């Protein structure tokens, strides 16, 4: 069956409607041989700090509500494991598998034009973990509207995630034996703006005097005539 044959809107509606018992992936961040999919698909440096020197973040109310909702979808949410060499395993949670399609749900303030890179890597890896060939990323806005992106399984993207998992694992192991071991390199992106580790990677936020265009080039217009 091709991507176009399915009624994804219907699948997504049913998915949102079916709420069951509580389930949540329990993270064991002490074990370097288990890397979680959300760690491997976002900035590795951020994942590294989350494990080694974490700083708490304030979740938005909407994310809290949405997170609670998804955790209630027990019959739907499934945890998968992909074993690699030397005992290393990648573990991930898919929010729902419906009619052979894997679905993940994400809250956004407004719909992106394309699925966010981390989300597309995540849903693709889920397809490999659960041996499915189609996946959907569902974005939900605070007013409860949803929009979905449908994608097919892609091997290269999964290989990238595996590679990132191995790099992350190596760096965590190194840090466990040497407290001075360096974190992963920075991955500059728009996500840095909301990252709690911004100041560890770049500069202190909002420090010093603001630079305005007029202070650089002198004052123009009205003020010149005063
Ligand atoms: S500020 Fe950017 S590069 Fe630094 S940890 Fe956060 S997301 Fe990664």
User: Quick one: pLDDT at residue 90?
Assistant: 96
Nearest-angstrom CA–CA distance, 32 and 16: 34
What's the token pair of residue 184? 């992963």
Do 101 and 49 contact (CB within 8 A), yes or no? no
Q: Where are the strands (E) in 84-167, listed by range?
A: 89-94, 96-98, 101-107, 134-140, 146-152
Run of H or E residues at 217: helix 213-217
Nearest-angstrom CA–CA distance, 198 and 116: 20
Name the class of domain 3-225.
Answer: alpha beta
Atom number, ligand 1, closest to the C-alpha of residue 198: 1
Spans of all domains in the chain: 3-225
Nearest-angstrom CA–CA distance, 81 and 126: 9
Centroid of ligand 1 to alpha carbon of 39 (angstroms): 13
Among 40, 41, 43, which residue has the most ligand 1 atoms within 8 Å of its CB, making it the best to mutate?
43
User: Quick one: pLDDT at residue 62?
Assistant: 59
Q: Beta strands 34-36 and 89-94: pairing type?
A: parallel
Q: Is 52 in the pocket of ligand 1 (CB under 6 A)?
A: no
Q: Whose CA is nearest to atom 2 of ligand 1?
A: 192
Q: Whose CA is nearest to atom 4 of ligand 1?
A: 201
CA dihedral 140, 104, 36, 44 (to 10 degrees): -50
Centroid of ligand 1 to alpha carbon of 196 (angstroms): 8
Q: Which residues of the chain have pLDDT under 50?
A: 1, 19-24, 224-226
In the chain, the largest separation of any two C-alpha atoms, in whole Å, equals 75
Q: Quick one: how far is CA 40 from the chain centroid?
A: 9
Centroid of ligand 1 to alpha carbon of 199 (angstroms): 9
User: Quick one: pLDDT at residue 20?
Assistant: 36
What's the token pair of residue 66? 């949405």
Global pTM? 0.78
């Amino acid at each position: 069956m091709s991507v176009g044959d399915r009624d994804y809107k219907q699948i997504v509606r049913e998915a949102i409607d079916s709420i069951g018992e509580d389930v949540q992936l329990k993270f064991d961040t002490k074990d370097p041989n288990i890397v979680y999919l959300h760690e491997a698909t976002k900035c590795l440096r951020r994942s590294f700090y989350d494990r080694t020197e974490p700083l708490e973040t304030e979740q938005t109310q909407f994310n809290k509500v949405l997170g609670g909702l998804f955790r209630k979808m027990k019959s739907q949410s499934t945890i998968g494991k992909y074993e690699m060499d030397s005992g290393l395993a990648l573990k991930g949670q898919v929010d729902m598998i419906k009619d052979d399609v894997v679905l993940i749900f994400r809250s956004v303030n407004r719909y992106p034009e394309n699925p966010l890179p981390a989300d597309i890597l995540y849903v693709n890896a889920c397809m490999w973990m659960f041996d499915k060939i189609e996946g959907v990323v569902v974005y939900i806005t605070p007013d409860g509207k949803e929009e979905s992106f449908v994608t097919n399984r892609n091997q290269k993207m999964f290989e990238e995630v595996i590679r990132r998992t191995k790099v992350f694992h190596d760096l965590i192991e190194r840090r466990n034996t040497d407290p001075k071991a360096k974190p992963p390199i920075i991955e500059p992106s728009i996500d840095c703006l909301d990252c709690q580790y911004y100041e560890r990677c770049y500069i202190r936020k909002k420090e010093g005097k603001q630079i305005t265009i007029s202070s650089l080039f002198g004052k123009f217009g009205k003020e010149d005539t005063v």
